[in-house]
Amino acid sequence: MATSTFVSGGTISAQNIYDDPDFLAGYVTLDRQVHGLDGAAEWPVLRSMLPNMGGRRVVDLGCGFGWFSRWADENGAMSVLGVDVSTKMLERARSQTASATIKYQCADLDLLDRWAECCR
């Protein structure tokens, strides 16, 4: 099991296959990881359901490499918080992100009730 740190500073454990080097080596070759949102067949439908990002504060749960986080930023979000349990995914997201509007946080989404407290 991987260990990650929650925003409050406590330590948590979570199942995290994305930090396994063998799994990650295959995962990064998938179209949606190579081509981002354009490589995801469902993206056009999902995009059509999204509101205008202008001025919004966005939380991207399970952000992975940060594709949606960057899209939200590029489309006018006031701030974006990308959250993922995988340190390897977050390293890649940070390396591909130039905007100061986007912040990334390592956390276990199984503890979502704690997130509700911190994001009020």
Assign domain 2-118 one CATH number from 3.30.70.260, 1.20.58.1690, 3.30.930.10, 3.40.50.150: 3.40.50.150
* Torsion, CA 42, CA 48, CA 93, CA 2, rounded to 10: -60
* Res 106: pLDDT: 92
Place of tokens 């590029």: 74
10-46 as b/e: b if 16+ CB within 10 A: eebebebebbeeeebeebeeeebbeebeeebeebeee
Share of the chain above pLDDT 90, in %: 54
In which residue ranges of the chain is pLDDT below 50? 1-13
Element (DSSP H or E) covering residue 90: helix 87-95
Q: How far apart are CA 85 and CA 15, in angstroms?
A: 9
Q: Which sequence spans correspond to the domains of the chain? A: 2-118
* Model pLDDT for residues 105-116, shown as the tens digit of each residue: 998 887 776 655
